[in-house]
Structure 1
Amino acid sequence: MNLAFLASHGGSAARFLIETCRDGRLNATPVALASNNSRSPALAWAREAGLRTAHLSGAKYADEDALDAAIASFLRDSGADTLVLSGYMKALGPRVLSAYAGRLVNVHPSLLPRHGGRGMYGDRVHEAVLASGDTESGATVHLVTAGIDEGPVLAQVRVPVLPGDTLDALKARVQATEGELLLRALRELA
């Protein structure tokens, strides 16, 4: 597998997967990372790690179609055959979705389909879990399709919601599982 990543901020999942490629736990080659955020820490560390990088955002292109074409071209030119979303906060266009159908994965911080969909990302997900009174949460790795958080589930891990849990405590326990879950899902996808 030749892995590319899209990240909006820190890209912790991408960083974890790059480390697993380099230490032999994942038989894959990390090739590229693009971000819609020019100040994304992920761009800086990916550049230092030797990946091909690009800032590709709506601010640089006339419309969503042009942006979709630019992302697809960047990924194609990088040689990527598998795309991982690592905290990428934008919807993907039809070119990218088509080019990576069945090879485009995302990790979501809940047990999808619960607490997924438009507006459900980051702290909002953990807040919703706590407000709902759920006794468990977790993380889900799924294939990305045109519907937000609607693609087929590849792997899930369950995390208990403990009495008195705070947003930060629950978030930390869920995030601690995401890297290994992604690794497992990518091994199966390969």
Structure 2
Amino acid sequence: MLKFAVMASGGGTDFQSLIDAVSAGKINAEICCLIAGKPGIYAIERARKAGIAAEVVQKKEFAGADEFDEAVLKTLQRNQADFVVLAGYLNIVGPKTIRAYKNKIINIHPALIPSFCGMGMYGKHVHEAVIDYGVKYSGATVHFVNEEADAGPIIMQETVPVLENDTPETLAARVLETEHILLPKAVALMADGKLRVEGRTVRILK
């Protein structure tokens, strides 16, 4: 059985969706650890309740981006992670980690990539931009991570309607519900070896 690490920077509701899916037998893999982007986040409490090891690797504790990248990679390797899932993780994953885990790092983004994504597009900023632009649909995207923000091959997407009276908060809540369904599905496919990357296309194998 494969092992995967989860990286989170906040409350960890996407992380909880993975814990629940593993517990229910919907993901044929083990969560080997949580890497928290900062101390005191509720994701750490979720890990504790589930009996999952949690380590804080905080960017500001390191002299520079290279040292931070090295620390993240060593933590993943020490915990024997076969692949990685970013679940509300707000730091940029460094090039050394990306190379070591090529096409083995999954991220979820709260919009339909390639729209409303890239540097600075996270959390509430995404939903504000979606509403300001006036699009009729947003959604969630699960994709592989490469060295450009939100630009890796897309695994799965699901649309969510943008309603006329939506606020960033109401839209975010609806997108989050979709994330909690989509992310475990994608991770289950990864765990079963059913994802094959061909250039920019991800094939889902039967």
Which category describes the TM-score, using the shorter chain as reference length? over 0.9
Correspondence list, 1:1-190, <5 A:
1-189=2-190, 190=192
TM-superposition CA deviations, 1:134-190 (whole Å, max 9, x none): 010000000011100000100000011112222222111111000211122122223
Q: What SS does the corresponding residue of 1:179 show, helix, strand or coil?
A: helix
Q: Give me the TM-score of the superposition, normalised by structure 2.
A: 0.88
Structure 1 CA distance for aligned equivalents of residues 82 and 166 of structure 2: 40
- Deviation at 1:7? 0.7
Q: Which runs of 5+ in 1 are unaligned?
A: none
Partner Cα separation in structure 2 for residue 134 and residue 90 of structure 1 = 28
Q: Which amino acid aligns with 1:81?
A: D
Q: Does the residue aligned with 1:83 lie in a helix, a strand or coil?
A: strand
Question: For the residues of structure 2 that align with 1:99 and 1:53, how far apart are their CA atoms?
Answer: 21
Question: Does the residue aligned with 2:66 lie in a helix, a strand or coil?
Answer: helix
What do you get for the CA RMSD once the two structures are aligned?
A: 1.2
CA distance in 2, matches of 1:75, 1:47: 18
Q: How big is the shift at 1:16?
A: 1.0
- Residue range with higher mean Cα deviation, 18-27 or 59-68: 59-68
Contact 1:52 / 1:78 at 8 angstroms: preserved in 2? Answer: no
Does structure 1 conserve the Cα–Cα contact (< 8 Å) formed by 2:8 and 2:43? Answer: yes
Question: 162-171 or 3-12: which moved more?
Answer: 162-171
Report the more deviating stretch, 130-139 or 90-99: 90-99
Shift of 1:102: 0.8
Gaps of 5+ in 2: 193-206
Q: Is the 8 A contact 2:4 2:81 kept in 1?
A: yes
The percent of aligned pairs where both chains have the same amino acid is: 38
Structure 1 partner of 2:203: none
Q: Using structure 1 for the length normalisation, give the TM-score.
A: 0.95
| CA distance in structure 2 between the partners assigned to 1:188 and 1:36 by the alignment | 26
Q: Secondary structure at the match of 1:97?
A: helix
Q: In the alignment, which residue of structure 1 is the partner of 2:198?
A: none
Q: How many angstroms apart in 1 are the aligned matches of 2:174 and 2:54?
A: 30
Q: CA deviation at 1:57?
A: 1.2
Aligned length: 190
SS of the aligned residue for 1:181 comes to helix
Deviation per residue, 1:17-52 (Å, 9 max, x gap): 011101111111011011121111112221332222
Deviation at 1:8, TM superposition (A): 0.7
